[in-house]
Amino acid sequence: MRRVVRYLILLAFFVLLAGPLVWQLSLSLKGAGDDLYAQPPQLVPADPTLGNYGGVLDRVPIPRYVLNSGIVALLVVAGNVVGASLAGYALARLRFRFRRLVTGLFVVALLVPIESIIIAQFLLVRSSGLADTLLGVALPTAIGALNVLLMRNGFQSIPDELEEAARIDGAGVWQRFWHICAPQVRGVMTVVAIFSFVGAWNDFLWPLIVLSGEENYTLTLGLNRLRGTFYSDPRLIAAGTIIALIPILVVFGFLQRYFFRGLQAGGIKG
């Protein structure tokens, strides 16, 4: 009985959380004969077609934009996993003067509203000669304060005995980090990786401001081309968004296995 209730609730959440995506899928398959504004909305297309996907691929050089978005996402994920882990480790497990102050700095950075610094960020990127480059897009978010604090949290939950044992055996900082502590927080690292990837992949306003040459456009910028000045077709936009979702689903699906494997790996918990 309990199982039934449990699965009923889970099903309800599934409808709530995944349903709207199904609607987008439906929209992307609707043909010219479907009235999009019909009330009530019709889930099954009356005039199904794959033409919208073709239309998107015609108008927008999807492969190149996917590559660009991929480069930016790669830079951001690498930066965050490496940079935030290093910093999180230092804040959680190394003792030094000003540790509290530096932690405070990251907390302060967390509170700063992005909208109030975006132009200043652009001016900075531009004066470094990085305007209109993918590096310029990736750099400001390459290491996020939130990720640093998440990693710090992760490292803090490692029991002291583990590191003490290593210290007694003569392990230096780097060895303790690489061999003992980092493997313990694989789960959190995966979380950081996923968050960074999604954030970088879906970002619109910042790449728009930094990039001016079309060759460098990320996928979100490219997909917005589907909204013409003179008319807009929701079907194309729906097809485009489905296309934009696929890499994320692939990455997440792939990482998810490692994520849960990491959780089960244990360590001192045996």
Partner 1 sequence: MTVRQTHDRWWAPWLFLAPALAVVVTFILFPFANTLALSATDATLLKPGRFIGADNFVRLWQDDRFRVAMTNSLLYVVCVVPIMVAAPLVLAALVNGTTRILSFLRTAYYLPVVMSSVIVGLIWTNLLDSRGLVNNVLQWAGAVDSPVLFLSDRWLTLFSAMLVTVWTGLGYYMVIYLAAMAGIDPALYDAAAVDGAGPIRQFLHVTAPGVRATSALIGLFSSVSAFRVFGEVYVLTGGTGGTGGQDITVTMLIQQEGTGLQAETGYAGAISVVMFVVLGLLLAGQLWFQNRRASR
Partner 2 sequence: MKKPIGYVLPAVLAFALGGCGIGGGGGDDSSAPVTGKVTGEITFQTWNLKGGYADYFNGLVTAFQNANPGTTVKWIDQPPEGYQDKLSADAAAGSLPDVVDIGPEAAFTLANAGMLLDLSKTDPGAQSAYLPKAWDANKFASLGGGTYAYPWYLNTGPSFFNTALLQKCGVAKDPLPGTYDTLFAAGKTMAGKCKGDTTMVGRLPAIETFGTYGVRLMDPQGTKFTFNDAKGVELVNHYKELYQAGGMTEETLNKLQTGELDAFKAGRVGWLPGSSYTLKDLKATAPKVAATVAISPQITNDKPNMYIESLAVNAKSKNTATAVAFAKFATNKENQLAFCQKAAIFPSAAGALDDPYFTKDDGTPETKLRLESAKAVSDAIVYWPAAFSSKSGDHLREQIALAILGKKDVQAALDEAVKYADGNLPKK
Q: Hey, which residues between 210 and 239 contact partner 1 (CB under 8 A)?
A: 220, 234, 237
Which residue do the tokens 């009235």 mark? 35
**Residue 88: C-alpha distances to residues 142, 154, 195, 196 (Å):** 15, 8, 16, 16
Q: Taking CB within 5 to 8 Å according to partner kind, which of partner 1, partner 2, none is near residue 143?
A: partner 1
Q: Judged by CB under 8 A, which stretch of 46-54, 58-66, 67-75, 113-121 contacts partner 1?
A: 113-121
Residues 219-248 that bind partner 2 (CB under 8 A): 221, 224-234
The amino acid at 73? A
Residue indicated by tokens 């975006």: 118
* Beta-carbon-side half-sphere exposure of residue 49 (alpha carbons within 13 Å): 14
How far apart CA 247 and CA 201 sit, in angstroms, is: 9
Cis peptide, bond prior to residue 40, ω within 30 of zero = yes
* Interface region with partner 1, contact rule CB under 8 A, candidates 44-52, 56-64, 145-153, 210-218: 145-153
Rounded to whole angstroms, how far apart are CA atoms 141 and 195? 12
User: From the list partner 1, partner 2, none, which binds 177 (C-beta under 5 to 8 Å, kind-based)?
Assistant: partner 1
Using the rule CB under 8 A, is 59 a contact of partner 2? Answer: yes
Residue 33 vs 159, nearer CB to partner 2: 33
Residue from 132, 162, 245, 258 touching partner 1 (CB under 8 A): that is 245
209 interacts with partner 2 by CB under 8 A: yes
Helices (H), the chain: 2-28, 51-59, 62-79, 85-93, 99-111, 118-127, 134-138, 145-156, 160-168, 173-175, 182-184, 186-202, 205-210, 219-224, 234-265
> Which residues in 21-40 contact partner 2 (CB under 8 A)?
32-33, 35-37, 39
φ, ψ for residue 53, nearest 5 deg: -65, -40
Strand residue runs (E) in the chain: none
- The answer to the question of residue 26 lying near partner 1 (CB under 8 A) is no
Among partner 1, partner 2, none, what binds residue 231 when CB lies within 5 to 8 Å by partner kind?
partner 2
Instruction: Give the position of tokens 């996928």.
Output: 219
Query: Is residue 98 involved in binding partner 2 (CB under 8 A)?
Result: yes
250 belongs to the binding site for partner 1 (CB under 8 A) = no
Stretch near partner 2 under the rule CB under 8 A, chosen from 117-125, 145-153, 157-165, 257-265: 117-125
Could you tell me the CA-to-CA distances from 53 to 48, 87, 136 in Å, in that order? 12, 43, 31
Nearest-angstrom CA–CA distance, 197 and 174: 27
Q: Which one of partner 2, partner 1, none interacts with residue 168, CB within 5 to 8 A by kind?
A: partner 1
138 binds partner 2 (CB under 8 A): no
Q: Which residues bind partner 2 (CB under 8 A)?
A: 32-33, 35-37, 39, 59, 97-98, 119-120, 122-124, 126-127, 131, 204-205, 208-209, 212-214, 221, 224-234
